[in-house]
Amino acid sequence: MNDHMIRGTAFNGEVRFFAADTKETVEEARQIHNTSPLCTAALGRMLTAGAMMGTMGKSESDIVTLKIDCDGPVKSITVTADVNANVKGIIYNNNVDLPLRADKHLDVGSGIGKGMLSVIKDLGLKDPYVGQTALRTGEIAEDLTYYFAESEQIPTSVALGVLVDRDRSVKAAGGFIIQLMPFASEETITAIEKKLSEFDSVTNRLDAGDTPELMMKSVLGDIEVEEKIPVRYHCNCSRDRVKKALISIGRKEIESMISEEKSVNLHCDFCNKDYKFTIDELKEILKML
C-alpha cells in the first residue's frame, strides 16, 4: 500500500501541515460506491480531507465526521475518519454527470451546489463538537478553508485533488492542509502565500511522482516531518456491531420481523457488506433482550 500521509511543522513551528497521497484509498471508494468521475472526485476530496483531519484528534478513540448537505445533484457526502487515518465514506448520489468546466476539470462545484458543511468531532464526551459553515464554492477545499477560518479561527490553506483516468479509475489523489499558528510572523505568511500562488496542483504533482513530502517542501521549504501514517479505506462494521444495532431497535420490532417470517438483511452503506439474520437468529437475539 502506497497511500500515506505526513504531518509536521515548518518555519520553526509557526506552521503545521498535513499532506496525503490517497490514490488507492479513493480508487477503493470508487469501486465500492461505483461512482461516476465527478462523484469520484467529490467523494475522493472529502476522503482525503477526512483522513488528514482525523489525525488531528488527540486520543485513540477520537472520530471526525465531515458532512456536506447540498442542493446540487450529489445531495450529500459523509466521511468518517479516526486518528490513524482509517477513512470511509458515503455519497448519496453516486452517478452525477455534468459537462466539464471551461478549464477541463470535473465540475464538482456544480455537482454540490449550495449547502452546509459540518465537521463533527466525537471526542468521547457526552456531546460531540459540531462546527458548521455554509458552502462557498462546493469545491470542498475552499469550503474547508472557510470552515477552519470561521469555525476554528485558524488561518488555513487546504488543497485537495482527484484525477480520474479515461477508464474511470483514479490516476492520482491527495491533498494538503497548511495551518498558521497564532504567533506566525508576517514574513512567514508572505513567504507561504507566494509559494502557494506558484504551486500548480496537487494532482499534477502527485501524478508526476511527487510524494507528499516533496509537495510540502516545495511550498514550505525546510520541513520537519513528525509522523508518517498509512492511509486506507477501512470500514469497522462487523456482524457483532450490526447485531447490537438490531438489539437496539427493540423487542417489538424484532417480534414483528419473526411473525412476518422474513429473514433480515442489513446493509452497510460505507462498505456495501450485507448482514443476513435468519428467523432462528432473530429468535436467539430476542432471548438476549
Nearer to Zn ion by Cβ, of 87 and 202: the residue is 87
Q: At which residue does the C-alpha cell 452497510 appear?
A: 268
DSSP result, 58-75: SSTT-EEEEEEEESSTT-
The minimum distance between CB 86 and Zn ion, in angstroms, equals: 12
Q: State the burial class of residue 54 (Cβ atoms within 10 Å of its Cβ: 0-12, 13-18, 19+).
A: buried
Nearer to Zn ion by Cβ, of 105 and 243: the residue is 243
Of the candidates 10, 57, 31, 46, the one whose C-alpha atom is nearest the C-alpha of residue 229 is 57
Nearer to Zn ion by Cβ, of 235 and 247: the residue is 235
The minimum distance between CB 237 and Zn ion, in angstroms, equals: 3
The minimum distance between CB 53 and Zn ion, in angstroms, equals: 21
Nearer to Zn ion by Cβ, of 83 and 237: the residue is 237
The minimum distance between CB 242 and Zn ion, in angstroms, equals: 9
CA 178, CA 159: separation in Å to the nearest integer?
Answer: 9
Q: At which residue does the C-alpha cell 446540487 appear?
A: 72
- Sequence-distant (6+) residues with CB within 8 A of 94 are 33, 34, 35, 36, 39
Nearer to Zn ion by Cβ, of 176 and 270: the residue is 270
Cβ contact 285:246 at 8 Å: yes
Of the candidates 117, 149, 155, 156, the one whose C-alpha atom is nearest the C-alpha of residue 136 is 117
Nearer to Zn ion by Cβ, of 55 and 80: the residue is 80
Nearer to Zn ion by Cβ, of 123 and 235: the residue is 235
The minimum distance between CB 280 and Zn ion, in angstroms, equals: 24
Long-range (24+ apart) CB contacts under 8 A made by 73-79 are 73/98, 73/111, 73/113, 74/38, 74/39, 74/42, 74/111, 74/112, 74/113, 77/42, 77/43, 77/46, 77/112, 79/43, 79/46, 79/47, 79/49, 79/50
CA 59, CA 57: separation in Å to the nearest integer?
Answer: 6
The minimum distance between CB 175 and Zn ion, in angstroms, equals: 24
Residues that bind Zn ion (CB under 5 A): 235, 237, 268, 270-271
The minimum distance between CB 268 and Zn ion, in angstroms, equals: 3
